[in-house]
């Protein structure tokens, strides 16, 4: 791994369209994470999307399907979007890191949080997605995405659901990653977190309505 590069930049295509980016990302070898993973999981959605949501990295299901947010966390995201009054197909969904990082334990692949150098290596893809889509609203899902784009001192727990001052997009906000709902200890806590997540998304949807 010491010989692996830590930068996706050389793999970015000259032509900046979502199709060209998605195709080029399939061949990215910008860090070591591509080796054990099944495939690159690039962002999904239309260039004209007004809302972009950015998570941490694909999970087990996403790695197999090649699509973001199709596993259990994706279902929570769908519920949150629906409760906030926005359709999934109207949003652009992506992750900070495009390959699944995991530890193999028996037959199970256990999610591992990407490290800073891996996030740094993969950021050029996200920057290119932002450049092409130019969303009016950007929502960062979870601490990894929020810290990657807003700085390492940003705390989701303190600032979730706030409209933030950032040059990334006219409307920028952060909330939990939907997988955090699944990790709650009981049903009551899950319901509370689900409602809080939807409320955070609603703030952004309402701000979009006001643009
Ligand atoms: S994680 Fe990102 S930088 Fe690393 S190989 Fe995959 S697409 Fe490239």
Both tokens assigned to 39: 């495939």
State the Cα–Cα distance between residues 199 and 111, nearest whole angstrom: 27
Atom of ligand 1 lying closest to residue 6 CA? 3
Atom of ligand 1 lying closest to residue 25 CA? 7
State the Cα–Cα distance between residues 210 and 13, nearest whole angstrom: 35
State the Cα–Cα distance between residues 204 and 68, nearest whole angstrom: 21
Q: Is the CB of residue 128 below 6 angstroms from any atom belonging to ligand 1?
A: no
Which segments of the chain have a pLDDT < 50? none
Hey, which of 6, 23, 28, 148 would you mutate to test ligand 1's pocket, going by the most ligand atoms within 8 Å of its Cβ?
28
* pLDDT for the residue numbered 65: 98
> Which of 39, 71, 82 is closest to 202 using CA atoms?
82
* pLDDT for the residue numbered 106: 95
* pLDDT for the residue numbered 4: 79
Beta strands in the chain (DSSP E): 51-55, 91-95, 102-105, 108-111, 137-141, 171-175
- Contacts of residue 62, defined as CB under 8 A and 6 or more positions apart, other chains included, come to 41, 68, 69, 70, 71, 74, 100
pTM over 0.85: yes
* pLDDT for the residue numbered 2: 60
50 C-alpha vs ligand 1 centroid, how far in Å? Answer: 26
Q: Is the CB of residue 29 below 6 angstroms from any atom belonging to ligand 1?
A: yes
- Contacts of residue 104, defined as CB under 8 A and 6 or more positions apart, other chains included, come to 36, 110
């Amino acid at each position: 791994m010491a010989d692996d590069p830590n930068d996706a930049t050389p793999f970015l295509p000259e032509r900046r369209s979502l199709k060209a980016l998605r195709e080029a990302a399939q061949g990215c070898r910008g860090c070591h994470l591509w080796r054990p993973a099944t495939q690159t999981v690039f962002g999904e959605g239309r260039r004209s999307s007004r809302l972009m949501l950015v998570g941490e990295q694909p999970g087990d299901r996403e790695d197999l399907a090649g699509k973001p947010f199709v596993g259990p966390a994706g279902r929570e995201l769908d519920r949150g979007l629906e409760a906030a009054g926005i359709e999934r197909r109207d949003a652009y969904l992506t992750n900070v890191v495009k390959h699944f990082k995991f530890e193999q334990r028996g037959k199970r692949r256990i999610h591992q949080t990407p490290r800073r150098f891996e996030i740094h290596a993969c950021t050029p893809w996200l920057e290119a997605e932002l450049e092409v889509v130019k969303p009016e609203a950007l929502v960062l899902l979870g601490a990894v995405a929020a810290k990657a784009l807003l700085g390492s001192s940003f705390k989701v727990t303190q600032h979730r659901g706030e409209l933030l001052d950032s040059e990334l997009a006219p409307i920028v906000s952060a909330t939990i990653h939907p997988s955090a709902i699944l990790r709650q200890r009981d049903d009551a806590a899950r319901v509370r977190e689900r409602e809080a997540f939807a409320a955070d998304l609603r703030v952004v949807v309402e701000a979009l309505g006001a643009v």
